Amino acid sequence: MAQSMTHAPGAAAPAGQHTPWYKVLYIQVLIAIALGILLGWLSPDWGKSMKWMGDGFIALIKMMIAPIIFCTIVHGIASIGDLKKVGRVGLKALIYFEVVSSVALLIGIVVGEVVRPGAGFGADISKLDAKAVEGYASKAAADSTIAHILGIIPKSFFEALAGGDLLQVLLISILTGVVLTGMGAKGESITHGIDAAGQVFFRIIGIVVKLAPIGAFGAMAFTVGQYGIGKVIDLAWLVGTFYTTSLLFIFVVLGGIAAFAGFSIFKFLAFIKDELLIVLGTSSSETVLPHMMTKMKRLGASDSVVGLVIPTGYSFNLDGTNIYMTLTTLFLAQAVGADLTFGQYATIFLVAMLTSKGASGVTGAGFITLAATLAAIPGNPVPVAAMTLVLGVDKFMSECRALTNLIGNGVATVVVSRWEGELDREKLRQVMEHPIAIGTDISDHSPDAPSQVGTEGPRIVAAQ
């Protein structure tokens, strides 16, 4: 079947007229990451001075996250028009999240016990500098179970949008969507306006994302300049174990789930390669949240499922963070010579399951939840001060946490969409056959963009 080509804004030229390699965004990001590492290594002071670039890019993205989530969820719930269906999709998503998150936590514990990356480390508790992690410990102490629950409720409707707390945004979005569903024609007009506002926000993201190479360069230059590659070498066994465990989880657990859902995890990763590279450079999966929502729709997942699962997953489906918390907890226990009991293992599992719900994908959130987990272990066998042992390499592990979280949420969206019977399997098949060519333009984030796979065959949109 012949391929038809659509010339949309930002679309590629006809076949035969290749986009210059230096204009392809993911190549720009790769080059920026390499240059950032090089600068941070050769000139640490200069590298540290580049921090503002990474911070600025993340801030630009984050300023749009709350309104995009609000508009997407409200429109998704209101357009479904059936609150029973909304509840059904939400319940299926939460069941999936809890099952897969539990597997991630258990894998971290099993690998930690089998590999024992902290064995023989011989850390002296009395010589640990608790001041280095006081900030994380105080934040963790303030985030008790009751405080965490109450923290979901914003002081005002608009504070949630202004503050950007994902759980607060989810709350007001769900309430607004439910109310609009029962308002009839008046609700439909409001829903239409919210949908139009969402399209504006997505187009703003399309502009901002073109600065991704600058953000990736600044973030990587600062990381290497601040902490140095030597820190990774000192704790290479832990960092290597964590990366290997995450890869095992992605290719075995998520790969098996993907195969059951009818697609290849390798082709899926090729389809979201742009987003993966931006997350690698910025250490935050939130920087590509709008992009993932658009990509999942192009992959064949229904709008309603994408609008509910992706934003919810950013708070409830953090597989990389779960692996990190259990594996790192065991590393620290082994490093200080603490022998954990079965009850303490169970506590680590349960507390990590709860505290991980507060890590929204922002770099550093995993370290705070780790502090909360350590503080909750009965008998305090691993003092929070032990976190100083991994403080220097946490930033290097945060990239892997964010990448694993991102991939897990993408797979979850496809699975829940199929479970709900709202997955376009033909579109999924065609996109998986052409993961590089179809729908990979990260700078096109309009939620109403035409599907990249039509009845006449795949329509090609190249990356800019």
Integer angstrom CA distances of residue 439 from 1, 10, 297, 450: 19, 12, 10, 10
pLDDT at 258: 93
Residue with tokens 């965004």: 25
Residue ranges of the domains in the chain?
Answer: 21-458
| Span between the terminal Cα atoms of the chain, in Å | 26
CB-CB contact of 329 with 370 (8 Å):
yes
Q: How many angstroms from the chain centroid is the CA of residue 198?
A: 21
Question: pLDDT of 52-75, one tens digit each?
Answer: 888 888 788 778 878 888 887 888
Maximum distance among all Cα pairs of the chain, rounded to whole angstroms = 71
Q: Which of 17-21, 303-307, 432-436 is predicted most confidently?
A: 303-307
Q: What's the pLDDT tens digit per position in 255-284?
A: 999 999 889 999 999 999 888 988 888 777
Q: Within a 10 A sphere around the Cβ of 7, how many other Cβ atoms?
A: 11
More confident: 457 or 326: 326
Can you give the pTM of this predicted structure? 0.74
Q: Is the pLDDT of residue 130 over 60?
A: no
**What pLDDT, on the 0 to 100 scale, is given for residue 124?**
66
Average pLDDT on 285-306 reads: 85
What are the tens digits of pLDDT across the range 407-453?
A: 999 999 999 999 988 888 888 888 887 765 444 444 444 444 444 33
The model's confidence at residue 461, banded by pLDDT at 50, 70 and 90, is: very low
**Token pair listed for 60:** 């630009």
Looking at residue 403, its pLDDT comes to 92
pLDDT confidence band for 126 (50 / 70 / 90): low
Determine the Cα–Cα distance for residues 368 and 394; give it in Å rounded to an integer.
11
Please check the confidence at residue 457 and state whether its pLDDT lies above 80.
Answer: no
Q: What's the rounded mean pLDDT across residues 107-127?
A: 81
pLDDT score for 360: 52
Residue 366: predicted pLDDT: 62
Tokens of 281: 């450079």
Q: Inform me whether the pLDDT recorded for 330 exceeds 60.
A: yes
Backbone angles phi, psi at 353, to 5 degrees: -60, -40
Q: What is the mean pLDDT of residues 172-198?
A: 85
What topology does CATH give the domain 21-458?
Answer: Proton glutamate symport protein (1.10.3860)
Cα–Cα dist 231/51, whole Å: 19
pLDDT at 426: 87
